[in-house]
Structure 1
Amino acid sequence: MPSAKAQSLTRQFQLQVLRIAELIARRLRVTAMRADVADIDGWWERISPQVQREILTGQTALARMARQYLVQHAALEGATVEPVVVEPVAEQISTALLVTGPVAFKTHMRDSGSEVASVRTMASQLQGSATRLVLAGARDTTMATVQQRPGIVGYRRIRGRPEPCPFCLMLISRGAVYSRETADFHAHDRCSCMPEPLYRHEPEPPEVRALYRQWREATAGTTGPGSIRAWRAHLAKQAAPDAAT
Structure 2
Amino acid sequence: MPSPQAQALTREYQQQVLRVAELLARRLRVSALRADVADIDSWWEQVSPQIQQEILTGQSALARLARGYLVAHARLEGVTIAAAVVEPNAQQIATSLRVSGPVAFKTQMAASGSEVQATRVMASQLQGAATRLVLEGDRETTMRTFTDNDAIEGWRRVGGSGSPCPFCLMLIGRGAVYSKESSRFQSHDRCSCKPELLYRREPEPPEVRRLSEEWSRVTSGHTGKAAIEAWRKHIAGQRGQRTEGAEPAEG
TM class, shorter-chain normalised? over 0.9
Q: Aligned to 2:181, what secondary structure does the other structure show?
A: coil
Residue by residue, what CA displacement relative to the aligned partner does 1:95-136 show, whole Å, maximum 9, x if unpaired?
Answer: 000000000000000010000000000000000000000000
State the shift of 1:237 in Å. Answer: 2.3
- Identify unmatched segments of 5+ residues in structure 1: none
Alignment gaps of 5+ in structure 2: 242-251
For residues 143-166 of structure 1, the C-alpha deviation after alignment (integer angstroms, 9 at most, x for no partner) is: 100111111111111110252100
Instruction: Give CA-to-partner distance per residue, 1:58-77, whole Å, 9 cap, x none.
Output: 00000000000001000010
CA deviation vs aligned residue, 1:187-242 (integer Å, no higher than 9, x gap): 1000010111100011111111011000000000001110111101111222239x
Match of 1:240, SS?
coil
- TM (norm. structure 2) is 0.94
1:163 maps to 163
Q: 2-side partners of 1:20 and 1:219: how far apart? A: 37
Give the aligned partner of residue 142 of structure 1: 142
Identical columns (%)? 65
Match of 1:180 in 2: 180
Structure-1 separation of matches of 2:239 and 2:124: 24
SS at match of 1:86: coil
Provide TM-score, normalisation by structure 1: 0.96
**What is the correspondence of 1:110-121 to structure 2 with a 5 Å cutoff?**
110-121=110-121
What one-letter code is carried by the residue in structure 1 that aligns with 2:221? G
| Structure 1 runs (4+) greater than 6 angstroms displaced | none
Q: Considering only aligned residues, what root-mean-square deviation do their CA atoms show, in Å?
A: 1.0
Cα shift readout 1:21-74 (whole Å, capped 9, x = no counterpart):
000000000000010111100000000000000000000000000000001000
* Structure 2 Cα separation of the partners of residues 95 and 83 of structure 1: 28
Alignment size in residue pairs? 241
Matched, 1:68 2:57: no
Structure 1 residue 59 corresponds to structure 2 residue 95: no
Local SS of the residue matching 2:195: strand
Partner of 1:130: 130
Q: Distance in 2 between matches of 1:186 and 1:192?
A: 11
Q: Distance in 2 between matches of 1:217 and 1:125?
A: 34
